[in-house]
Amino acid sequence: MIYIQESSLEHQLNVLERISAKSSFVLILWNYPKASKQIVPLIGGKLFNQGFEAVTEYFDNTVLMHSRPLAARPSLLSYLSRFKRELERSVDSICLYSERSKHWSACSIGHEGMCLVRDESFLEPLLAAGFNASIEAPDWW
């Protein structure tokens, strides 16, 4: 696992953009449990629970809801960066999934200031791009 400490949502989206450029992924926005709809235009208002693995767990049996899966392209991540305030208010995490998997490959957890990447082969490219990436979890994690 790669841990990337990054407090800026824009930089977190940049991490996901770099990952998505290397392979075919779908992107899912996971809403906070109390958010009733998806508020980013063009993503769609309806929320789903389609069996994808969420990165955040809530211990009160909350059923987490997410956006429809979208093709993860750099242009989509750039588009999302225009909705920083909306994302911070309603989105718990943003995850990339391999097109054939329900398990996340990389994610941004905005409120934690953390990105996670399961494939450690991304470590060197992320370090070269200037990200604070490590295979060691931060002490506070």
Pick 40 or 29 by higher pLDDT: 29
Residue 31 to residue 21: CA distance in whole angstroms:
24
Residue 16 to residue 116: CA distance in whole angstroms:
10
Least confident of 21-30, 40-49, 50-59: 40-49
CB–CB of 22/83 below 8 Å? no
pLDDT attached to residue 89: 87
Q: Retrieve residue 112's tokens.
A: 């934690």
Q: Where do the structural domains in the chain lie, given as residue ranges?
A: 2-132
List b or e across 29-44, with b for residues whose CB sees 16 or more CB atoms inside 10 angstroms. Answer: bbbbeeeeebbbeebe
Q: How confident is the model at residue 116 (pLDDT cuts 50, 70, 90)?
A: very high
Which tens digits make up the pLDDT trace of 52-81? Answer: 999 998 888 888 899 999 999 989 999 999
Q: What is the pTM of this model?
A: 0.93
Provide mean pLDDT across the span 116-124: 98
pLDDT attached to residue 38: 67
3-state helix, strand, coil in the chain (%, to 5): 30, 25, 45
Q: How confident is the model at residue 123 (pLDDT cuts 50, 70, 90)?
A: very high
pLDDT attached to residue 103: 98
Using a pLDDT cut of 70, give the percent of the chain over it. 96
Q: Retrieve residue 106's tokens.
A: 């990389």
Compute the mean pLDDT over every residue in the chain, rounded to the nearest whole number. Answer: 92
Strand order through the sheet with 25-31: 70-71, 25-31, 91-98, 104-109, 114-117, 2-5, 133-134
Residue 126 to residue 103: CA distance in whole angstroms:
21
